[in-house]
Structure 1
Amino acid sequence: QEAERAGADADALHAMLGRGRAKKGMFEGDLSQGELEIGQVSALLREILPAATIVANTWREFQEALSNPLRDQA
Protein backbone atom coordinates (compact mmCIF):
# COMPACT_ATOMS: atom_id res chain seq x y z
CA GLN A 1 0.00 0.00 0.00
CA GLU A 2 2.87 2.36 0.74
CA ALA A 3 4.37 1.78 -2.71
CA GLU A 4 0.99 2.35 -4.32
CA ARG A 5 0.52 5.61 -2.41
CA ALA A 6 4.02 6.65 -3.43
CA GLY A 7 3.02 6.30 -7.08
CA ALA A 8 4.59 2.97 -8.03
CA ASP A 9 3.47 1.83 -11.47
CA ALA A 10 1.78 -1.51 -12.20
CA ASP A 11 5.05 -3.23 -13.18
CA ALA A 12 6.76 -2.18 -9.95
CA LEU A 13 3.81 -3.34 -7.86
CA HIS A 14 3.69 -6.68 -9.68
CA ALA A 15 7.41 -7.23 -9.11
CA MET A 16 7.00 -6.39 -5.42
CA LEU A 17 4.07 -8.75 -4.95
CA GLY A 18 5.64 -11.57 -6.92
CA ARG A 19 4.04 -14.80 -7.99
CA GLY A 20 2.86 -17.71 -5.91
CA ARG A 21 2.15 -15.66 -2.79
CA ALA A 22 -1.29 -17.24 -2.32
CA LYS A 23 0.23 -20.73 -2.53
CA LYS A 24 2.92 -19.80 -0.02
CA GLY A 25 0.42 -18.40 2.43
CA MET A 26 -2.53 -20.76 2.11
CA PHE A 27 -0.87 -24.08 1.34
CA GLU A 28 2.64 -23.74 2.76
CA GLY A 29 1.79 -21.63 5.81
CA ASP A 30 4.41 -18.98 5.00
CA LEU A 31 2.72 -15.84 6.31
CA SER A 32 5.77 -13.59 5.93
CA GLN A 33 6.26 -14.17 2.18
CA GLY A 34 2.77 -15.42 1.36
CA GLU A 35 -0.74 -14.05 1.55
CA LEU A 36 -4.09 -15.23 2.83
CA GLU A 37 -7.41 -14.49 1.19
CA ILE A 38 -9.87 -14.29 4.05
CA GLY A 39 -12.29 -11.49 3.29
CA GLN A 40 -14.46 -12.98 0.56
CA VAL A 41 -16.84 -14.76 2.92
CA SER A 42 -17.22 -11.91 5.42
CA ALA A 43 -20.33 -10.52 3.71
CA LEU A 44 -22.10 -13.83 4.29
CA LEU A 45 -21.67 -13.76 8.07
CA ARG A 46 -24.88 -12.96 9.91
CA GLU A 47 -23.91 -13.85 13.48
CA ILE A 48 -20.94 -14.85 15.59
CA LEU A 49 -21.32 -18.30 17.10
CA PRO A 50 -19.12 -20.44 19.34
CA ALA A 51 -17.09 -23.03 17.45
CA ALA A 52 -18.95 -25.85 19.22
CA THR A 53 -22.26 -24.53 17.88
CA ILE A 54 -20.90 -24.27 14.34
CA VAL A 55 -19.58 -27.84 14.48
CA ALA A 56 -22.87 -29.13 15.91
CA ASN A 57 -24.89 -27.32 13.23
CA THR A 58 -22.62 -28.60 10.47
CA TRP A 59 -22.86 -32.16 11.80
CA ARG A 60 -26.66 -31.94 12.03
CA GLU A 61 -26.91 -30.63 8.46
CA PHE A 62 -24.59 -33.40 7.28
CA GLN A 63 -26.73 -36.05 8.97
CA GLU A 64 -29.88 -34.55 7.41
CA ALA A 65 -28.24 -34.59 3.98
CA LEU A 66 -27.29 -38.25 4.40
CA SER A 67 -30.83 -39.22 5.32
CA ASN A 68 -32.35 -37.40 2.34
CA PRO A 69 -29.72 -36.95 -0.41
CA LEU A 70 -32.20 -35.80 -3.07
CA ARG A 71 -33.99 -33.22 -0.91
CA ASP A 72 -32.48 -30.09 -2.49
CA GLN A 73 -32.42 -31.40 -6.05
CA ALA A 74 -36.17 -31.19 -6.65
Structure 2
Amino acid sequence: MVIGVTMVNVSPGSEKSVYMKIKEMKNVRDVYHVFGEFDFVVIIEAPSLAELNKTVDSIRAIEGVTKTQTVVGAEI
Protein backbone atom coordinates (compact mmCIF):
# COMPACT_ATOMS: atom_id res chain seq x y z
CA MET A 1 0.00 0.00 0.00
CA VAL A 2 1.28 3.46 -0.92
CA ILE A 3 0.09 6.66 0.75
CA GLY A 4 0.30 10.01 -1.01
CA VAL A 5 -0.46 13.48 0.21
CA THR A 6 -1.27 15.84 -2.65
CA MET A 7 -1.59 19.56 -2.15
CA VAL A 8 -3.82 21.21 -4.75
CA ASN A 9 -4.28 24.79 -5.94
CA VAL A 10 -7.40 25.76 -7.88
CA SER A 11 -8.68 28.76 -9.79
CA PRO A 12 -10.73 31.20 -7.70
CA GLY A 13 -14.40 30.22 -7.71
CA SER A 14 -13.82 26.58 -8.67
CA GLU A 15 -13.24 25.26 -5.15
CA LYS A 16 -16.59 23.54 -4.70
CA SER A 17 -16.67 21.77 -8.08
CA VAL A 18 -13.05 20.61 -7.76
CA TYR A 19 -13.70 19.37 -4.22
CA MET A 20 -16.72 17.33 -5.32
CA LYS A 21 -14.82 15.73 -8.21
CA ILE A 22 -11.80 14.83 -6.09
CA LYS A 23 -13.99 13.43 -3.29
CA GLU A 24 -15.57 10.93 -5.73
CA MET A 25 -12.27 9.59 -7.10
CA LYS A 26 -11.04 6.07 -6.62
CA ASN A 27 -8.16 5.82 -4.08
CA VAL A 28 -8.98 9.18 -2.45
CA ARG A 29 -9.34 8.63 1.28
CA ASP A 30 -9.82 12.23 2.48
CA VAL A 31 -9.98 15.78 1.12
CA TYR A 32 -9.38 18.80 3.34
CA HIS A 33 -9.99 22.42 2.38
CA VAL A 34 -7.10 24.37 3.87
CA PHE A 35 -5.95 27.96 4.05
CA GLY A 36 -2.48 29.10 3.08
CA GLU A 37 -0.34 28.27 0.07
CA PHE A 38 -2.67 25.50 -1.12
CA ASP A 39 -6.46 25.14 -1.33
CA PHE A 40 -6.80 21.39 -0.67
CA VAL A 41 -4.87 18.56 0.89
CA VAL A 42 -5.82 15.18 -0.58
CA ILE A 43 -4.92 11.88 1.12
CA ILE A 44 -4.53 9.12 -1.46
CA GLU A 45 -4.22 5.44 -0.58
CA ALA A 46 -3.35 3.20 -3.53
CA PRO A 47 -2.15 -0.37 -3.99
CA SER A 48 0.92 0.74 -5.99
CA LEU A 49 2.93 3.81 -6.90
CA ALA A 50 1.67 3.53 -10.48
CA GLU A 51 -1.94 3.62 -9.28
CA LEU A 52 -1.19 6.60 -7.03
CA ASN A 53 0.36 8.42 -10.00
CA LYS A 54 -2.78 7.74 -12.06
CA THR A 55 -4.91 9.28 -9.32
CA VAL A 56 -2.69 12.38 -9.16
CA ASP A 57 -2.84 12.68 -12.96
CA SER A 58 -6.64 12.51 -12.74
CA ILE A 59 -6.66 15.30 -10.17
CA ARG A 60 -4.42 17.43 -12.41
CA ALA A 61 -6.86 16.91 -15.31
CA ILE A 62 -9.80 18.42 -13.41
CA GLU A 63 -10.88 21.77 -14.81
CA GLY A 64 -9.88 24.48 -12.35
CA VAL A 65 -6.83 22.70 -10.91
CA THR A 66 -3.80 24.93 -11.46
CA LYS A 67 -1.05 23.21 -9.46
CA THR A 68 -0.35 20.07 -7.45
CA GLN A 69 2.48 18.93 -5.23
CA THR A 70 2.70 15.37 -3.93
CA VAL A 71 4.70 13.63 -1.24
CA VAL A 72 4.68 9.83 -1.12
CA GLY A 73 5.17 7.42 1.74
CA ALA A 74 4.89 3.68 2.14
CA GLU A 75 3.72 1.62 5.09
CA ILE A 76 6.49 -0.30 6.82
- TM superposition score category, shorter chain reference: under 0.3
What is the TM-score normalised by the length of structure 2? Answer: 0.21
Q: Which has the higher contact order (CA 8 A, sep 6+)?
A: 2
Give 1 or 2: higher helix fraction.
Answer: 1
